[in-house]
Amino acid sequence: MQYGRRAVEPPPGVHLEWRFWTDLALAMGAPMFGVRGVNPGIKASRWAARVLRRPGLAFGPHWLDRLMVAAGRRVRWRDIMAHPHGLVYADKEYGRFAEHLLTEDKRVHAAPPEFVAEARRLLGTTHPEAPPGFPYQLSNKRSRHSMNSWLNELPGLHPGRRSNDLEVHPKDAAELGVVDGDRVRVWSAHGSLETTVVLSDAPRRGVILLAHGWGSRIFDPRGGEAPESHGVNRNLLVGGQDVDPLAQTPALSSTWVAVERITLT
């Protein structure tokens, strides 16, 4: 166990994430953590901190830290504070997985009936065919320099451009009449965007790849400069009507699209 401390102070005017969610819960009148009685306690702690001029009394992550340590009854808070580089308070234990299973038969149900039924349904369907006017299937990919939308604003982590390019199989690119570096328009029945082509053997023919996590706007909380945006938001091409019956999420990696080269004038 190790108690981590902040490395730098946040910029002026920027709320920490926990403060944002707390303020939002209070403004909406929604019980924090879904527990009634928490919101009045938060307001009372802020009142006491203000009246007594002791900011540490106000509700914050330190409250939760202390409560978790106290509830665990395995280690004392003072011991954690005395070991800034970490405290090992117990050896790893193995062989106790079965006793923690909550199923009645104490078995791992790796094939729930709902999943089996959906798998059988999919196996019984024919291979999807491209709808008229949308010959390519848009699939997703990740970038090793990003984690979803995190880190995209840091130029030092991206050796090339800070953007997401459209990866196209060379034979598909030949049919489209595009080469490396060409600007293209990609559109679906739901939206369109413009990006740059990169030839790649990674996708099979008929499939094009576009990394997710890009295209969001980055705001300057202090200077008020115009927002920056790197790359394109591939989700603009995805509709919200067709959802996975089990996960209830849109089909982010099976949207049919069309591609054309943008002629520069």
d(CA 107, CA 18): 38
Whether the CB-CB separation of 239 and 250 falls below 8 Å is answered with: yes
Strand runs labelled E in 113-206: 136-141, 166-168, 183-187, 192-199
**What is the per-residue pLDDT for 194?**
95
CA 116 to chain centroid: 28
Q: Give pTM, 2 decimals.
A: 0.67
130: nearest Cα among 141, 120, 138: 138
Give the pLDDT of the chain (265 residues) as one tens digit per residue: 888 888 888 877 778 889 999 999 999 999 999 999 999 999 999 999 999 999 989 999 889 899 889 998 888 999 999 999 998 878 888 888 888 899 988 889 899 899 999 999 999 998 888 999 999 999 988 777 788 888 887 777 877 778 899 999 999 999 999 999 999 999 999 999 999 999 999 999 999 999 998 998 888 777 778 888 889 999 999 988 888 888 888 878 889 999 999 976 5
Residue ranges of E strands in the chain: 136-141, 166-168, 183-187, 192-199, 207-211, 217-218, 228-229, 255-261
pLDDT at 186: 97
Which pLDDT does position 82 carry in this prediction?
93
- Residue 28's pLDDT is 96
C-alpha 209/C-alpha 140 separation (Å) is: 6
Q: How far apart are CA 186 and CA 257, in angstroms?
A: 7
DSSP letter (8 states) at residue 227: P
Domains defined along the chain, listed by start: 1-102 (no CATH), 129-261 (2.40.40.20)
